[in-house]
Homo-oligomer: A and B are copies of this chain.
Amino acid sequence: MLLKNCRFIVTQNEKREILENKDVLIENGRISEIGNNLSSKEEIIDCSNKIIIPGLINCHTHAAMNLLRGVSDDKNLQEWLNEDIWPREAKLNGELCYQGTLLATAEMLLTGTTCFNDMYFYTGDVARAAEKSRMRCFLGQVMFDFFDKDKTRKIIEDSEMEIKKILELKNERIKPTITPHSVETCSDDLLTQSRDLANKYNLPIHMHLSETEKEINDCLDNRGKRPLILLNELGFLKNKFVGAHGIHFNEEEINILNQNNSFIIYNPCSNAKLASGICPARELNNLCIGTDSVASNNNLNLFEEMKFGVLLQRVNYNEVNAMSTQRIFDSATIDGARALGIENEVGSIEINKKADLVLIDKDNIFMNPNYNIISNLVYSFNGTVSDVMIDGSFVVRNKEIVNFDLRELIGKLNSLNF
């Protein structure tokens, strides 16, 4: 396929080049050439009226929770989980998780996200939805034992079974991760065995970290140390590690993070909505971004997340230079790819990378006038992209989902009642 005369290409390459009026040739799902006057015997798409950006990467989701949009809005994390979310999640089953995740993939694709890093139950069914929509993803079966020693072994065995199932799919876009829920819900034993499982399969660990003051205080009270120190002592930071939220860090912890390759996933909307605090994002060398679930956001629109992400840093530090639009755009593209260890495959528009690309109408009302394209993408654009491709195949075309009937799915979900 040839994307002809792309008006702007926001490459996110090392020089952060923005190319104008170039062609992008795509062969076998990868970008094979970028230049002028390229030709192809395959499909040619006129992009003279399009801005092309790399597909965005949402590093923290619970996709199936799209089922629960708007069910509970005004509680803090603990009450929200205990009173409203966990009782509803107890009613879920695999088919519902499939449908909820499918809805989430539609929302992500329609707002330019091509890859997500998920933590939930029924991982096999979540994978089934990702296969249907053709999204790239990392899936973890969430683990917690609530310090009940009789449960730990079984939880690890179940998780290993889910890993094997995902590996057996042999779908290059769908990869397993290890996802202990948090230090609030996992015993040291479960954490240790999680780490060993991650080592055994060479997989990244993805967990919630330092989200609330309560989590810090409980960990100090019960374990005599702060959550990040505990995880560091257990060797978590030697692995590929991505920690979601990362709000309550002291200086020592920020130094530890910055001396490792671990990434913190900034979730500005969810953190504000649950009144958990503000991530010290500007202090962190390795930053990616996520939406969390729609139950605490309440959408999966990374464009909105980027804007609030920058604004909240300015509020937090009371400084107009607290975070640049380029840095937050990096966190949703190339730095998201680095966080997940796929920076050689996606996250930028460069030769040999996979063609995970998003097309935006150049004449979109939010993108004009066009003095600063990164500023417009972060501060102004509302996420209504025109087309999306993954591995060189269109998954959104003219603002419609290609691979399934979204309207039918919505009708089905509104007949449920959680």
Q: How far is the CA of A376 from the CA of B73 in the complex (A)?
A: 10
Name the residue in A366, A368, A379, A382 with the highest tally of chain B Cβ atoms < 10 Å from its Cβ. A368
A376–B322 touching, CB < 8 Å: no
B380–A70 touching, CB < 8 Å: yes
Contact of A369 among B73, B110, B307, B416 (CB under 8 A): B416
A304–B382 touching, CB < 8 Å: yes
Contact flags A359-385 to B (C-beta < 8 A → 1, else 0): 000010110111110011001111110
Residue A418 is within 8 A (CB to CB) of chain B in the complex? yes
Name the residue in A274, A320, A418 with the highest tally of chain B Cβ atoms < 10 Å from its Cβ. A320
**Contacts from A to B (Cβ < 8 Å):** 66-71, 73-76, 80, 103, 106-107, 110-111, 269, 272-275, 277-278, 294, 297-299, 301, 304, 307-308, 310-312, 314-315, 317-322, 324-325, 363, 365-366, 368-372, 375-376, 379-384, 406-407, 410, 413-414, 416, 418
30 contacts between A and B (CB under 8 A): A69-B369, A69-B371, A69-B375, A70-B369, A70-B371, A70-B375, A70-B379, A70-B380, A71-B372, A73-B379, A74-B321, A107-B365, A107-B366, A111-B382, A269-B311, A272-B312, A272-B315, A273-B314, A275-B314, A275-B315, A277-B318, A298-B379, A298-B380, A299-B381, A308-B308, A363-B410, A368-B413, A368-B414, A369-B416, A382-B382
